Structure 1
Amino acid sequence: MNSEFLEALKDLEKEKGISVDVLLEAIEAALLSAYKRNFGSLQNARVHIDRETGDFKVYSQRAVVEEAQDDRVEISLEEARKIDPRYNLGDMVENEVTPRNFGRIAAQTAKQVVVQRIREAERNIIYEEFSNREGDILTGVVQRIENKNVYIELGKTEAILTPSEQMPNEEYRQGDRLKAYIVEVRKTTKGPQILVSRTHPGLLKRLFEMEVPELQDGVVELKSIAREAGYRSKIAVYSKDENVDPVGACVGPKGMRVQNIVNELNGEKIDIVKWNQDPSKYVASSLSPAKVVAVEVWEDEKVARVIVPDYQLSLAIGKEGQNARLAAKLTGWKIDIKSESQMAELYPDYHDQADLNGSREDYLTDDYVEDYNSYPAADELLEEDEK
């Protein structure tokens, strides 16, 4: 080793961000291991690399004791003071024992250490870069598909899209360009492992934040998301600014903003509803596109009964209960949906109590609320659902 080698290490420090001192310490440790392995030495030893010239030397180390039992690791106080009168018990006496043909082994070992440290540094850089991006979106190209896992190329590394995180209606082909949500970044012996998802609700959230400037600026808030990936999603949005329509902002001019997201998600339908602090109004809007006649809530149990026109019942429930299920996920409320005919059977005076043609607007009248105790209560609704 020489000064050129040190210059090369300094260049690596600038390019890869690996400290020269860290590299030299690693090389010293590797050279010591190589020395003991190749020369069968059982003695204590130390390898030192001169930071100015790059020259290396191997030193044997022996402890100063009263009487030496093993000359390879110990030296008597009398012998030590013959070398230097300043030695005392417990000191270490060092002698240079650098083998003549150790240069070739040293060069090979240094190369292996440097290559290994460069690889580790690059892995750490990649890990730090992507671990800080958990919860964000990345864009990559499908590199290959193995055992149903989709590997997405990201330049110096790749991300893994496992079968459980793939959308059921999507087919992935080599060369496809797609966006994915970073779920987790793990450190492994083979480098960082980046796990991504196409089904995570966070993907929908980040796509809206990218498309809607009002969300980025904080003018509009995305309060809640419910998603059945590949089929349908619902989001609830809100704005403190009365002059801003949060739903319109997310839909965009001529529906372009939401349409871009629908295209990215291969046709997944998206309902955008306005969040409301009043749970009855929030639950009613969550069942969009169905129209709601009235809502009664039990706040302690977070249960809501929703009344819809007869012709809207199937729309409110949705195919295989999907609309009602997503509305429940979105609001966090248990929702029981009844048609007006069903309500009339349960409560004969229903049509008299509720103003079906005018002031009902979408919610129960005061008289209707007063007599509502004759209906099954929230705990009965829960028991009915469990059956």
Structure 2
Amino acid sequence: MDKRNTELLRAITDYLKNYDGPELRIMEVCGSHTGAIAKYGIPQLLSDRIHLISGPGCPVCVAPSAYIDRMIELSLQPDVIVTTFGDLLRVPGSRESLSEAKGRGAKARMVYSPFDTIDLAKKDPAHTYVFAALGFETTAPVYALMARQVLEDGIPNVKLLTAIKTMPAVIRALMDSGAPVNAFLAPGHVSVVTGSRIWEPLAEQYEIPFAVAGFQGIEILEALYGIARWTNGRSGGRVMNFYPSVVSRAGNEEAQTQIREVFEPVSAVWRGIGEIEGSGLALRGPYAALDAGSRGLSRDVRKNKACRCGEVLCGKIPPTACPLHGKVCTPLTPQGACMVSPEGSCRTWFEGGRKR
């Protein structure tokens, strides 16, 4: 880091550490931000008047139990193999996780790319391969490309079980429900696709700032500094882009077109939060034939009734306020989805990255 950047970083951290303006409760709604904030020890660099709150931005964390149960149901069928990313294997359904269901014959394969599923299916025509496609606007274009390839190549034994969520609707739901938040660290990866303009109606409606941030420590600190400077002496909403190297106001319009071609907005259930109108994406038109039963998965049952994952995801309590945290709920024995993924707030707090 050159002298100029070193001085800039020192000025930013000095301001944030000594900030004495209006109390700030800033929610990061991206699981990657949650992990980065823990990695760089950012909470320890802030004034006691600045509070960082983890939101519902971890895709694994917000998958409802009905989605996990459907995965297990499919994996137990004799001619079906479920493919998924590693974290999802351990997320609890209403009774068990997919990993636990392997003990009674569930067939699941971990993959590193959605397109690995296509390769597996071509080599094994005797089985139908169902890919667990969950995520946000970030991964939706990749899933759209996958669906298009399956149809165009006429691959008969690939299906998708989708749980794709969109961010603006859940932020609106949180604000309408009284979430204790007065600023947002907007997700950088999502904003690459959607553009920063997607946050403008929310900033205007709720009169709060949104700061689009990257994932390096200095990038997050710059965004927090921008929020603090804006809030200290000003009021009203504003969208600030601190990730201009990859985020534009308009976003990736080609990716947006691909999403609109393959998916349509639907109501979706978020684990611990409930159903939110227009907050999900489902396969549409000819692509709907690839759906492995994603629609109507509205049941959301906690495996352990004492789990307070939903309140953590809404920013209403810190993970340590859950009676299970660090006791019966650990990364080895997760009772809720927030303890499974490295992007989950319960896990980052447990592993010592988030002290307050």
Q: Which structure: larger Rg?
A: 1
- TM-score, with structure 2 as normaliser: 0.19
Q: Return the structure number with greater strand share.
A: 1
- TM-score, with structure 1 as normaliser: 0.18
Higher relative contact order (CA 8 A, sep 6+): 2
